[in-house]
Amino acid sequence: MSFLKNLISSIMRGSLKGGYFRSKDFGVLHKDINKALESVMSKSGEVSSLVYAEHLSNLIENLDDKQLIDFFNTLIEKYDIDSNSLLKASKEYSKNKTQKNLEIITRSSEPQWVELFRRLNTVSEGTHRLVRLRERIRSLEKDNPDLAFFDISLLNLFKHWFNPSFLVLKRIDWSTPANILEKIIAYEAVHEINSWEDLRARLAPEDRRCFAFFHPLIPNEPLIFVEVALSDNMPETINEVIKIDRSITLDQDINTAVFYSISNCQDGLSGISFGNFLIKKVAHKLKQENEGLDRFVTLSPAPGFTKWLKEKSIDEDLHEDNLLKHALIYLLDSDREDGYPNDPVAKFHLGNGAILEKVNLNSDLSSKGINQSKGIMINYLYNLDLLEKNHELFFKTKTVQQSDGIKSLRKKLQIDKQAKSK
Nearest C-alpha neighbor of 258 from the set 204, 208, 288, 298 = 298
Residue pair 262/210 in contact by the 8 Å Cβ criterion: no
Amino acid 43: pLDDT: 67
Q: In three state form, how does the secondary structure of 250-307 look?
A: CHHHCCEEEEEEEEECCHHHCCCCCHHHHHHHHHHHHHHHCCCCCEEEECEECCCHHH
pLDDT tier, 106 (very low <50, low <70, confident <90, very high otherwise): confident
* pLDDT(150) > 90: yes
Residue pair 298/380 in contact by the 8 Å Cβ criterion: yes
User: CA 91: distance to chain centroid?
Assistant: 40
Q: What is the mean pLDDT of residues 69-74?
A: 96
| Percentage with pLDDT > 90 across the chain | 79
Residue 103: count of CB within 10 angstroms of its CB: 12
Higher pLDDT pick, 8 / 319: 319
pLDDT tier, 421 (very low <50, low <70, confident <90, very high otherwise): very low
Amino acid 317: pLDDT: 76
* pLDDT(58) > 50: yes
Q: In three state form, how does the secondary structure of 91-133 look?
A: HHHHHCCCHHHHHHHHHHCCCHHHHHHHHHHCCCCHHHHHHHH
In total, the chain counts a number of residues equal to 422
The DSSP line for 321-345 is: HHHHHHHHHHHHS--STT---SSHH
| Percentage with pLDDT > 70 across the chain | 91
Taking the alpha carbons of 364, 368, 374, 377 in that order, is the dihedral positive or negative?
negative
* pLDDT(3) > 90: no
Q: What is the mean pLDDT of residues 397-406?
A: 94
Q: What is the mean pLDDT of residues 143-168?
A: 95
Amino acid 18: pLDDT: 37
Region of residue 169 (left: phi > 0; alpha: psi -120 to 50; beta: else):
beta
Amino acid 147: pLDDT: 96
Amino acid 420: pLDDT: 41
What residue ranges define each of the domains in the chain, with the CATH number in brackets? 3-161 (1.20.140.90), 166-412 (3.40.630.150)
Gap between the Cα atoms of 403 and 79, Å rounded: 55
Q: Give the pLDDT confidence of 322-365 residue by residue, as tens digits.
A: 999 999 999 999 999 999 999 999 999 999 999 999 999 999 99
